[in-house]
Amino acid sequence: MQPLTLSKVAVRCGILALILFVVVVVALKFGAVPVSLYGLAKDLIGVLIGRSSNISSEYGMIIREIRLPRIALGIFVGASLSVAGTSFQAVLRNPLADPYVLGVSFGAAVGSLLALIIEPHLALRPEVAAVFTPLGGFIGATLTIAAVYLLGRYHGDIDSKTLLLSGVIVGSFFSAMILLLITMLPSSSTRGVVYWLMGDLSTPMPPILGWVLRTGFFAGFALIYLTASDLNLLLAGEKEAMHLGVDVKKVQLVVYLAASALTGLAVSVSGSIGYVGLIVPHLMRMIFGTDYRMLLPASAFGGAIAVVIADTMARTVAAPSELAVGAVTAIAGAPLFIYLLRRRLA
Amino acid sequence: MERGAQDGSRMNADVRLSVEQVSYAYSPNPSQAPIFTLEATSFQVKPGEIVGVLGPNASGKSTVLRLIAGALQPLSGRILLNGAETHLMEPRARAQKIAMVQQESQLLFPAKVWEFVLQGRHPHGKSLRFETDDDVMIATNALRQVGADHLTDRWMGEISGGEKQRVILARALAQQPVLLLLDEPTLHLDIGAQVDFLHTLKKLTAVNRYAVVIVTHELNLAGEYADQVALMQKGKCLRVGTPASVYQRDLLEQVFQTRLTVEQRVNGRPKVSVLESSE
């Protein structure tokens, strides 16, 4: 009997952080302007430990102003989507749950788009305007998961197939809504919006939005992580969890809201990057087991690593033109989803 | 296992669980008439005592158990565990006192036996917690008490039905409850495993002074192992008492809709045999 300890979690997270660092350094290297890997790693470590405050001037501007913000965005978007997927899988008792598959990403996109359309008419202060789209994304995501949850319930229990089907239908309904909303946007912004919908990390965003994304991620993650032991028991079913002392309704509410917030935030800044919340938790379960006290942080790191890698591929594979990162994750994720579904049915 | 806090109640043979005139109505839609009602039901359970709740399907047995567990709120009447109403307790506090053994535990992901038993320690700590050495000791002890310590490192999915029921019982023991509730615990077990399981339960109930309520439709096993039985039919509690006093041929024939005989054995326990159908 060797239960999980806090130090075990810390050590494993340390290893994952190291892998993320290596991935970030390699990702920074790729691009139109050649950069030395060694010099880059040296400079970055210098910055991280506070020895120096600067990255070599020859490529410093490109790294600091272009590549690093984009990678940072990828880290938080990947971690948010992955943690959201891992959380939905526990409260819905369905290992195939994912913000994209459940239609939550599309709901968040509709919310964000509506906010985008309404915002110019409201004459908001710039700080409020900046968080208006993520707020729309959060509301859209929350309403969607509530709808999917209610549709997927059958005789008081969540039916796995009905749930997934509800997610697909709700998702396709919102896709149609998105098309409708795009026609209402000025034609000048249509191309950008379409690109955003496919999943895109290249659009620069105002610093306040970056701050909202980071704060939102840490707050959402902390809320979900506090329920990690409860989620372990919820996997065995609501009744069983209740008999083991879990306040089921409270935990479900907290996790639904927090996971919807993470999805809404991620989608409002990067569009629909699909399947991250499905693939990453699966891989992490294979490596670290199913204990949510380990799985949640592992999913956060894994999601960050996956999206940074996918985005690096998106901007290098077809260089000088770019793919949408959502296309890369969908190309990898959809076949895996089918494989997992078939294996579960078998 | 230490039961220090409960020694007092053992001395004066206090009633631990008191079900007082409890009724319940279930309707899937609040505007419609209830499709199931439980009429006023009363019985009491003392520490170290096993009470069997018996009856055919849809007689309200499981509803009684869920009411006792605090999962449902009675329409009228009260259910008191050491003087506190069970449905008003906080989930965590309730799970420190009441443990439930259900028919089957569905696992979404594979788990080891020891991981499963450690879940029983969940109510005894903060929400986010890592197990302490004490937790490990209590879980190990629980597995030993049910005679399943050799299964510790096996996967839940690869042990037999009888072994699995023992492990589920071990998890309930790890909660260190004062009240143990069992819902058809022997349903999918062969007769040898059934007797084994109930024998273990009887022994542990005597040693740890649990109050035990067990729902079953196995008349003979309840007759053999229960100190009291409550006979249910269509949401009515017809009779409560010792198996010998409740197992009346006419009554059982009427409740179970089949012809049967009841004989008293030398140990004072009744034995029920089903006769061929009269049709």
Report pLDDT for B21. Answer: 92
| Mean pLDDT computed over B55-82 | 92
pLDDT above 50: residue B6:
no
Is residue B90 less than 8 Å (CB to CB) from chain A?
Answer: yes
Report yes or no: B122 at the A interface, CB cutoff 8 Å.
yes
pLDDT tens, per residue, chain A with 346 residues: 788 999 999 999 999 999 999 999 889 888 766 777 777 777 777 777 766 666 666 667 777 777 888 899 999 999 999 999 999 999 888 888 889 888 999 999 999 889 888 888 887 777 777 788 889 999 999 999 999 988 887 766 677 778 888 898 999 999 999 888 888 777 777 777 887 888 888 777 777 888 888 999 999 999 999 999 999 999 888 888 999 999 998 999 999 999 999 999 999 888 889 889 999 999 999 899 889 999 999 999 999 999 999 999 988 887 777 888 888 998 888 888 888 778 765 5
User: Nearest-CA neighbor of A261 among A293, A305, A215?
Assistant: A215
User: What does the pLDDT read at residue A176?
Assistant: 92
Q: Do B175 and A244 touch (CB under 8 A)?
A: yes
The pLDDT value given to residue B278:
53
Residue B5 has pLDDT above 50, yes or no: no
Structure tokens at A164: 């997934």
Question: Which chain B residues have a beta carbon less than 8 Å from that of A237?
Answer: 105-106
Q: Contact B136/A3, CB-based, under 8 Å?
A: yes
Where would I find the beta strands (DSSP E) of chain A? 153-154, 157-158
The minimal CB distance from B119 to the residues A5, A237, A244 is found for A244
Whole-number Cα distances in Å, B199 to A42, A182, A260, B8, B219: 69, 70, 49, 26, 16
Residues of chain B in contact with residue A242, where contact means CB-CB under 8 angstroms, are 71, 91
Cβ–Cβ < 8 Å for A92, A248: no
Residue among A1, A229, A237 minimizing CB distance to B114:
A1
The answer to whether A229 contacts B129, with C-beta atoms less than 8 Å apart, is yes
pLDDT of residue A127: 74
The yes-or-no verdict on residue B86 having pLDDT over 90 is yes
Place B12 in a pLDDT band, splitting at 50, 70 and 90: very low
**B102 inside 8 A of chain A by CB:** yes
- pLDDT computed for residue B47 by the predictor: 94
Name the residue among B94, B102, B128 with its Cβ closest to that of A240: B102
Measured distance CA(A274)–CA(A98) in Å, rounded: 8
Give the pLDDT confidence score for residue B8 in this predicted structure.
39
CB contacts < 8 A, A to B, total 85
Nearest CA in chain A to B168: A240
Average pLDDT, chain B: 87
Tokens of A89: 């899988």
Q: What's residue A54's pLDDT?
A: 63
pLDDT score at B109 = 79
Closest Cα in chain B, distance from residue A259 (Å): 18
Q: In what order do the strands lie in the sheet with B76-81?
A: B36-45, B17-26, B76-81, B84-85
Residue A185's contacts (CB-CB under 8 Å, 6 or more residues apart) are: A113, A116, A117, A193
pLDDT of residue B9: 39
Query: In the β-sheet with B211-216, what is the strand arrangement from edge to edge?
Result: B98-101, B179-183, B211-216, B50-54, B228-233, B236-241
pLDDT of residue A339: 84
Q: How many residues does chain B have?
A: 279
Asked whether the beta carbons of residue A226 and residue B110 sit closer than 8 angstroms, the reply is no
CATH topology of domain A66-345: ABC transporter involved in vitamin B12 uptake, BtuC (1.10.3470)
Question: Does B102 contact A243 at a Cβ distance shorter than 8 Å?
Answer: yes
Distance CA B215, CA B233 (A): 13
pLDDT at residue A121, rounded to an integer: 84
Quote ipTM for the complex: 0.86
pLDDT score of B92: 93
- Please check whether residue B135 touches A, CB under 8 A: yes
What is the residue extent of each domain of chain A?
Answer: 66-345
B99 touching A (Cβ < 8 Å): yes
Give residue ranges of A with CB < 8 Å to any B CB: 1, 3-6, 93, 95, 225-230, 232-233, 235-237, 239-240, 242-248, 285, 290-291, 293
Q: What is the pLDDT of residue B118?
A: 94
Give the residue from B106, B130, B133, B151 with the most A CB atoms within 10 Å of its CB, the best one to mutate: B130
Say how far apart CA B2 and CA B134 lie, in whole Å.
13
Q: Is B14 helix (H, G, I), strand (E, B) or coil?
A: coil
- Measured CA distances, A176 to A101, A105, A131, A163 (Å): 16, 14, 25, 20
Distance from CA of B114 to the nearest CA of A (A): 6
pLDDT in tens, B139-164: 999 999 999 999 999 998 899 888 99
Domain boundaries, chain B: 4-274
How much is the pLDDT for A52?
63
B4-274: CATH, from 3.30.530.20, 3.40.50.300, 3.30.390.50, 3.40.50.2300: 3.40.50.300
C-alpha neighbours within 13 Å on the C-beta side of residue A216 = 31
Q: Do A226 and B135 touch (CB under 8 A)?
A: no
SS3 label, residue B89: coil
Chain B residue numbers touching A240 (CB-CB < 8 A): 102, 105
CB contact under 8 A, B108 and A95: yes
Find all residues with CB under 8 Å of B30, minimum gap 6, and list them. none
